[in-house]
Homo-oligomer: A and B are copies of this chain.
Amino acid sequence: MGDLDGNCSRVESILGQVADCDIAILPEMVITGYPLEDLVLKSGFVSDSRRSVENLAATTTNCAVLLGFADSDPAGAVYNAVAVCQGGEIHGVYHKRHLPNYSVFDEARHFCAGSGSLEVYRIGGVRVGVTICEDLWVENGPAGQLVTGGAELLVVANGSPYYRGKAAQREAMVTATAISSDRPLIYVNLVGGQDELVFDGGSMAANRFGEIVARGPQFDEAVVIVDIEIPELLASDSDLPVINISESRERIDSITPTSFRALDPLAELYGALVLATRDYIRKSGFTDICVGLSGGVDSALVATIAADALGPSHVHCVLMPSRYSSTDSVIDAEALVEQQALNVCTISIESAHKMMREILGPEVGDRGDGLMDENLQARIRGVLLMALSNASGWLVLTTGNKSEAAVGYSTLYGDTAGAYAPIKDVYKTTVYELCHWRNAKEIQEGGNSLIPDSILLKPPSAELRPDQRDDQSLPPYEVLDPLLEAYIEGDRNRVELVEMGFDQNLVARVVNLVDRSEYKRRQTPHGVTVTSKGFGRDRRLPVVNRYRG
């Protein structure tokens, strides 16, 4: 993000590998990073972006290169753009015409919509129509106009963030567009984590029958070389202006097309969490993380994701048992650490807990029992983790899941204290699924379970008071999670939830908990969005709010 020189260097090194190709397509905003947010409003940013593309274009050879960047016109209007560069020149610039301004997107805040006449580019003798992301999804949009106007091949540069099920939606759109337009289509998507988004890649090439003939990896960068057959029958005239870039050449038979298999849903989700976590940490300049290990399933999963993201030697687990921690919890946490060869230290919070109660005693008396005491333990742990972070330069990961974030089952400045929340958009039931999936994968590869069974089998508990269990204050997660999903991702109101079959009292209680926890969610760290509506930029509710619909 914003690393114009670094991004140009990486593109340059890729171009060296594809010099023999006719066209190299890079994702949306490849030069600047995406989404830029208010960076685009910074004085000088857009001209810096434009200059970077000009400099990079000057180094291009016969292979045409599509470069996403932030462009502006002489009147100062800013566009989400793709430059078509070849032979040391920029031959044309396409401006995105449909600006998404819903969900996580704010493009109407930052860009003007492209307008005016479209054009096609003759590259390798083929008329190529260029569009950007949302433009493909709009009925009667630029993609259709380019085809009608004479494009023989459609290419789309995308910055399409992941959520569960998104890849299938995209593939359906790519297939449908290829079929309806009777043209091959190349869909190139960004890869990498950026704040609360992760871009999953999964680039695709479809032939004119909508068959996927090449596929990029998910959650990993790659150069995918594909030889696209352009049907002869399409070589008709073009109604749109044609910009001639390069002529057709003799077919090079030495090209071996690369392709990758699509991941199954849990592998995809786990991949999203690992990449997002790795990128947030590394791009923030950190190499190591620390995490409080309770012996429960959430912190076990977060430590495992971190180990997969950074390597086990970069993961520092901190056991912070209290007077209420069960012996099993400590044993389970230690087993996890041993199984994965993570670093570990143990700091009992008993003496600090006792001392804090003591100094608060004169002020709070009996009112210090209950909620205050529970939060106190969580906050002492938060202070310890942050102290270790300050002393050792480790980034603190938090371990809260989406079910907890939804109902406010967390302690601000306690278990929510940290820089990044890897599973904040993962419901508790999915946390279990991911643990089982990751264990199964390890076993399949000849290893042992990474997450001990005992962690997966015991009933969830925050262990902040004697014999506490989550199901004393919350319904079982198998009941809670579908209700939360219908309320949050599904945007159903109370009446509709009851009509769906959820118990009326449960609906009232849970919706109330979710609504009243908005203030907490505003102070918790970023984590990656993996559902169609996370608690972040795609759910912007007022904190002070009396609507109870």
Point out residues on A near B: beta carbons under 8 Å.
Answer: 1-4, 6, 33, 35-39, 41-45, 48, 101-102, 106, 108-109, 193-195, 279-280, 283-284, 345, 347-349, 351-352, 355-356, 358-360, 362-364, 367-368, 371-372, 375-376, 379-380, 382-384, 386-388, 390-392, 412-413, 417, 419, 491-493, 495-496, 519, 522-526, 539-549
Top 10 closest A-B pairs, CB basis? Answer: A2-B547, A3-B546, A372-B390, A364-B391, A367-B391, A413-B413, A43-B493, A44-B493, A108-B108, A379-B383
The one of B352, B368, B540 in contact with A356, judged by C-beta atoms closer than 8 angstroms, is B352
Q: What's the nearest-Cβ distance from chain B to residue A146, in Å? A: 26
Instruction: Contact check, A491 vs B356: say whether CB atoms are below 8 A apart.
Output: no
- From known contacts A108-B108, A386-B379, infer whether A547 and B372 are also in contact, taking CB-CB under 8 Å: no
Asked, given contacts A2-B542, A544-B283, whether A386 binds B364 with beta carbons under 8 Å apart, the answer is no
Interface centre among A413, A417, A539 (most CB of B within 10 A): A413
- Tell me if A42 and B413 are in contact (CB < 8 A): no
Please name all residues of chain B whose beta carbon is closer than 8 Å to the beta carbon of A38 when the two chains form the complex. Answer: 539-541
Complex: A379 Cα to B376 Cα, angstroms: 12
Q: Of B102, B360, B491, which contacts A388 at CB under 8 A?
A: B360
Which residues of B are found within 8 Å of A349, using beta-carbon distances? 359
Given known A-B contacts A106-B540, A547-B42, A359 and B368 have beta carbons under 8 A apart: no
Min CB distance A255 to B, Å, is: 35
Complex Cα distance A362/B387, Å? Answer: 13
Distance of A382 Cα from B519 Cα, bound (Å):
17
How distant is A535 from chain B, measured CB to nearest CB, in Å?
Answer: 11
Question: In the bound complex, do residue B391 and residue A1 qualify as a contact, i.e. CB atoms below 8 Å apart?
Answer: no
Cβ contact within 8 Å between B39 and A1: no
Least CB separation from A413: chain B residue: B413
Contacts of A360 in B (CB 8 A): 347, 384, 387-388, 391
Q: Are A356 and B387 in contact (CB under 8 A)?
A: yes
Does B43 lie within 8 Å of A419, measured CB to CB?
A: no
On whether the beta carbons of B352 and A547 are closer than 8 Å, the reply is no
Q: Of B280, B359, B522, which is within 8 A of A347 by CB?
A: B359
Which one of A348, A392, A540 has the highest number of Cβ atoms from chain B below 10 Å of its Cβ? A540
A145 to B: closest C-beta gap in Å: 24
Nearest B residue to A544, CB-CB? B283
Which residues on B sit within 8 Å (CB–CB) of A379? 382-383, 386-387, 413
A391 touches B413 (CB 8 A): no
Most buried by B among A4, A355, A548: A355
Compute how far the CA of A375 lies from the CA of B384 in the bound complex, rounded to whole angstroms. Answer: 11
Contact check, B392 vs A413: say whether CB atoms are below 8 A apart: no
* Cβ contact within 8 Å between A43 and B492: yes
Docked pose: A320 CA to B383 CA in angstroms: 17
A362 to chain B: which residues have CB within 8 Å?
Answer: 345
User: Would A413 and B388 be within 8 Å (CB), given that A522-B525, A540-B106 are in contact?
Assistant: no
- Among B345, B368, B386, B390, point to the contact of A387 (Cβ < 8 A): B368
- List 10 interface pairs A-B (beta carbons < 8 Å), by A numbering: A37-B542, A38-B541, A39-B547, A43-B492, A45-B549, A108-B108, A195-B544, A360-B391, A367-B392, A522-B526
CB distance from A397 to the nearest CB of B (A): 14
Task: Give the residues in chain B near A367, CB-CB below 8 Å.
Answer: 391-392
A525 CB contact (under 8 Å) in B109, B345, B523:
B523
Report yes or no: B413 in contact with A549, Cβ–Cβ below 8 A.
no
When the two chains form their complex, are residues B547 and A1 in contact, meaning their CB atoms are under 8 A apart? yes
State A3–B493 Cα separation when bound (angstroms). Answer: 16
Known: A4-B547, A37-B541, A546-B2. A388 touches B359 (CB 8 A): no
**Contact: A413 with B383, CB < 8 Å?**
yes
Q: Known pairs A106-B106, A360-B387; list 10 more (Cβ under 8 Å).
A: A39-B547, A101-B109, A355-B355, A372-B387, A372-B391, A375-B387, A376-B383, A379-B383, A379-B387, A379-B413
Within 8 Å by CB of A359, from B351, B541, B543, B546, lies B351
What is the distance, in angstroms, from A65's C-beta to the closest C-beta of chain B? 22
Closest residue of chain B to A548 (Cβ to Cβ) is: B2
Q: Shortest beta-carbon distance, A59 to chain B, in Å?
A: 22
Q: Contacts A359-B352, A360-B384, A379-B386 given: A491-B42 contact, CB under 8 Å?
A: yes
Known: A280-B544, A417-B412, A541-B39. A347 touches B363 (CB 8 A): yes
Minimal beta-carbon separation of A172 from chain B (angstroms): 24
| A1 near B546: Cβ-Cβ < 8 Å | yes
Which residues from B are CB-within-8-Å of A492? 43
- From B106, B194, B413, A109 is in contact (CB under 8 Å) with B106
Which of B383, B391, B545 meets A39, CB within 8 Å?
A: B545
- Residue in A41, A48, A359, A417 with the greatest tally of chain B CB atoms within 10 Å: A359
**A346 CA to B359 CA, complexed, in Å:** 10
A359 contacts which chain B residues (CB < 8 A)? Answer: 347-349, 351-352, 384
List of B residues within 8 angstroms of A43 by Cβ: 491-493, 496, 549
